Amino acid sequence: MRQESSPRAGLRHDALTAFGLGASRAASAPPLVTALAQLRHVVLGVAVLSGAVNLLALAGSFYMLEVYDRVIPSRSVPTLVGLSLIVLVLYLGQGFFELIRSRLLLRAGRAFDEALSRRVFRAVVTLPLRGRAEADGLRPMRDLDQIRAALAGGGPGALFDLPWVPVYLGLLFAFHVWIGLTALLGALALIGLTMLAEILTRHHARDAREAAAARGFVAEASRRNAETVRAMGMEPDLAGIWSRASAASQATQERTAEITGAIHNASKVLRVVLQSAVLGVGAFLVIRQEATAGVIIAGSILSARALAPIDQAIGYWKTFSAARECWRHLGSALGAAGAEPEGLTLPAPREGLTVEQASVGPPGGQRLTALDVGLTLTAGQGLGIVGHSASGKSSLARLLVGIWPAARGAVRLDGARLDQWRPQDLGRHVGYLPQEVELFPGTVAANIARFRPEAEAEAIIAAAKAARVHDLILSLPEGYQTQIGERGALLSAGQRQRLALARALYGDPFLVVLDEPNSNLDQEGEAALTEAIVGVRARGGIVVVVAHRPSALAALDQVMVMADGRVQALGPRDEILPALNRPRAMPAAPTGFAAGFAPMSLKVAQGGRA
C-alpha cells in the first residue's frame, strides 16, 4: 500500500487535531510509555556510543595478540612503541565515549523525571480522593525516583553492552573453536545465574518494599500525632508496633540481599574460573601447536570482556527488579489518577449554584452518605447546613466544592457541571474551609495566597481584612512574612482557623463553603466570621456553612436540616430555626445541633429554589 505523502499526512494530522481525535489518541497512551518514547533519540545515542565503547574495548586483546606474536619474536622496539601509542589513543577514546554515555544517561533520567513529575504529584494528591489511599501515600514519588535512578545508573549501559556478547564470542571462535566453546559455556552459566536471581528475588523484593512502606506509615502517623502520643502515653505501644514492622522490613531486605549477594559472588567466581579455563585451553592448544602464545593472552582478555556485561547485569539485577516493580505500580497509580482534565476556560460564575438530586459517598466506599440532595442558591444567598453527627453534612460540603464526585445527579455553577471546569479554574472561584484545618510550611502571606506565585500584596491583605485577621497577622513577630511551621504548629487552633478562612476568601471566590468554621473560635472570632459571611453575600457571592453551633447561622438566610444522609427540611432561616426550637413532647437526653429541640419532622423540600 502506498504511504501518504507528507503534505497529505500533515493535513490529516491537522484534521484529527481540529476534531479532537489526535489529542485523544495521544492521551490514550500510558504516560510512562509516552515519557519513555520522548527519550528515543537518547536511546539511539546511547546505543551508538555503546557500539563505539565495545569496539574500542577490543584494543587490549589485539594489542596483546600483536605484542606476543609480532613484537616479541621480532624484538622491534619501534613497533612496540607505535602499538602502545595507538592503544593508548584507543583507550582514551573508550574512556571519553563512556563518559559521554554516562552523562547522556543522567540527562535521560532527568528528562524522564521532568516529563512525569507534575503528573506524579497530581497522583499523590488525587488518589486519596478516589479511594486509593495507601500505607505509603508518597510511594508514586519514590517509584519515580527509583526509575530515574535506574535510568541514570550503570544498568542501562550494561544492557546496551549485552548485544555485543555474541560479537566477542564470535571472535573467540575465530581464535579457536575450543576457546569459543569454553567462553560460550561460561556465558550460558552466567545467564542461568541471572535467571535464577530473577526467580528467587522477585517476591522477596516486593515484600521488602511493602514492609518498608508499613514501617514508614507507622512512624509518620506517630510523628503527625506526636502530642497525642506523648500526652496519652502511647509511645511504648507504638514503638512496639514500629519495631515489629521494622523487623519484618529488615528480614525481607536481608533475605533479598543474601540471595543477590550469593548469586553475584557465584558469578564472580565463575568469571575467574572461566578466565583460567580459557588460559588452560589456550596453553593446551599451544602445546599441540594449534594456537600461539598471543592467542592465549588475547583470548583470556576477550573472554573476560565478553562476560563482563552479563556479570554487570547480575550486579544491577536488584535495581532492575525494583525499577520494574516501581514501573508497574507507578503506571497503575497514574492510570487511576487520570490525566489532567482539558477544556475551555469558562466565564467566572456570577448567577448561582444548583444541586440536581445528587448523591455522594466516600470514594471507594460502598455506602452513600448524602442522598438525593436538591437545592438552588442564587448570588448573594447564604445556606446553613445543620444536623446530628454523621448526618451527611460534611459529605455534602465536599460534593459542593468537587472534592468528592457525585455518584448520581450533578452540581452546577452557572449551569456548568463541576467536572466541566478545569480544576485550576474552578479553584479560583471556590473558597473552602475544611473541618480539619491544614496549613502548609511557609509564610502567612503564602498560605493566604494559596502559594500562587503571581499573588499581589493587595489581594492578600484584602483577604485578610475580609476574614478580619489583618490586625492579628500584624501582631505576629514578622507580620505577613512570619513562618508558621509545619501544619501551622506555631499558631493556636483559633489562629489557624482564621487564617484558613482568609485563604478561603482569597481572590473573592463566588462560592465559599465553610465546614465547622467556628469550632475553635472565641467570641471575637465568631463576630469576625459573621462579618466575613456578610461581606461575601454583599459582593454577590454564595456562602454555605456547615455548623453545629447556632451562632454560625446569624448571617445566613437559608437553613437545611439533614439526618441519615437526607434533607429533612430546607427553607428560610426564620422559618426553620423556630421549628427546631420547639420543646420535645417527651424528655430526652440533649444531643446534636439543637439539644432539647423538637424532632426534625419538617416537610422535606428538595429541588426547590432556596
> What was the pLDDT predicted at 133?
61
> What was the pLDDT predicted at 535?
92
If asked whether residues 315 and 410 sit together in one domain, one would say no
Helices (H), 31-138: 31-37, 40-56, 59-66, 72-74, 77-126
> What was the pLDDT predicted at 22?
41
If asked whether residues 302 and 360 sit together in one domain, one would say no
If asked whether residues 362 and 305 sit together in one domain, one would say no
**Helix axis angle, 523-538 relative to 457-466, nearest 10°?**
120
Asked if the structure places residue 601 within a domain, the reply is no
If asked whether residues 318 and 376 sit together in one domain, one would say no
Q: Are 382 and 529 within 8 A, CB to CB?
A: no
If asked whether residues 114 and 195 sit together in one domain, one would say yes
Strand extents, DSSP E, 388-501? 408-413, 416-417, 430-433
If asked whether residues 365 and 328 sit together in one domain, one would say no
Taking residue 192's Cβ as centre, other Cβ atoms within 10 Å add up to 11
Q: What is the pLDDT of residues 490-514, one digit of tens each?
A: 788 888 888 999 999 999 999 999 9
Q: Supply the range of the domain harboring residue 573.
A: 352-581
Edge-to-edge strand ranges of the sheet holding 352-360: 370-378, 352-360, 408-413, 416-417
Domain count, the chain: 2
Asked if the structure places residue 106 within a domain, the reply is yes
If asked whether residues 361 and 316 sit together in one domain, one would say no
Q: Are 512 and 542 within 8 A, CB to CB?
A: yes
If asked whether residues 379 and 421 sit together in one domain, one would say yes
Predicted TM-score (pTM) of the model is: 0.70
Rounded Cα gap, residues 324 and 318, in angstroms? 10
> What was the pLDDT predicted at 352?
92
In the predicted model, is pLDDT for residue 176 greater than 90?
Answer: no
CB-side neighbour CA atoms (13 Å) of 168: 32
Q: Which residues contact 1 (CB under 8 A, 6 or more apart)?
A: none
Rounded Cα gap, residues 519 and 549, in angstroms? 8
Asked if the structure places residue 431 within a domain, the reply is yes
Task: Tell me the pLDDT band of 227, cut-offs 50, 70 and 90.
Answer: low
More confidently predicted of 411 and 161: 411
More confidently predicted of 353 and 126: 353
Instruction: Give whichever of 306-310, 366-370, 445-449 has the largest mean pLDDT.
Output: 445-449
> What was the pLDDT predicted at 290?
84
Q: What is the pLDDT of residues 305-361, one digit of tens each?
A: 888 887 777 777 777 777 888 888 888 888 877 777 666 788 889 999 999 999 998
Choose one of 306, 337, 368: the last residue of a domain.
337
If asked whether residues 207 and 234 sit together in one domain, one would say yes
If asked whether residues 322 and 390 sit together in one domain, one would say no
> What was the pLDDT predicted at 286?
84
Asked if the structure places residue 587 within a domain, the reply is no
First-last CA distance in the chain: 65
What does the mean pLDDT of the chain come to? 80
CATH number at residue 52: 1.20.1560.10
Q: Work out the average pLDDT over 409-417.
A: 91
Task: Tell me the pLDDT band of 432, cut-offs 50, 70 and 90.
Answer: very high
If asked whether residues 416 and 515 sit together in one domain, one would say yes
Give the lowest-confidence range in 323-327, 371-375, 413-417, 563-567: 323-327
Task: Tell me the pLDDT band of 575, cut-offs 50, 70 and 90.
Answer: confident
Closest alpha carbon to 119 in 144, 98, 154: 144
Taking residue 320's Cβ as centre, other Cβ atoms within 10 Å add up to 20
More confidently predicted of 226 and 406: 406
Phi/psi for 96 (5° steps) reads -65, -45
If asked whether residues 272 and 406 sit together in one domain, one would say no
Asked if the structure places residue 586 within a domain, the reply is no
Task: Tell me the pLDDT band of 610, cut-offs 50, 70 and 90.
Answer: very low
> What was the pLDDT predicted at 537?
93
Asked if the structure places residue 185 within a domain, the reply is yes
Give the lowest-confidence range in 208-212, 281-285, 371-375, 514-518: 208-212
Q: Work out the average pLDDT over 368-389.
A: 92
Asked if the structure places residue 564 within a domain, the reply is yes
369: which 3 cell numbers? Answer: 452518605
Choose one of 337, 363, 380: the last residue of a domain.
337
Q: What is the pLDDT of residues 513-556, one digit of tens each?
A: 999 888 888 888 888 889 999 999 999 999 999 987 777 788 89
Rounded Cα gap, residues 466 and 511, in angstroms? 15
**Beta pairing class for 542-546 and 382-387:** parallel
Closest alpha carbon to 134 in 318, 325, 332, 402: 332
Task: Tell me the pLDDT band of 604, cut-offs 50, 70 and 90.
Answer: very low
Adjacent-strand bridge partners of 569: 561
Phi/psi for 264 (5° steps) reads -65, -40
Q: What is the pLDDT of residues 138-163, one digit of tens each?
A: 788 888 888 888 888 777 888 888 88
CATH number at residue 401: 3.40.50.300
Give the lowest-confidence range in 211-220, 287-296, 371-380: 211-220
Rounded Cα gap, residues 257 and 246, in angstroms? 16
Rounded Cα gap, residues 557 and 610, in angstroms? 9
386: which 3 cell numbers? Answer: 445543620
Q: What is the pLDDT of residues 23-73, one digit of tens each?
A: 444 445 688 888 888 888 888 888 899 889 888 888 888 888 888 888 888
Asked if the structure places residue 283 within a domain, the reply is yes
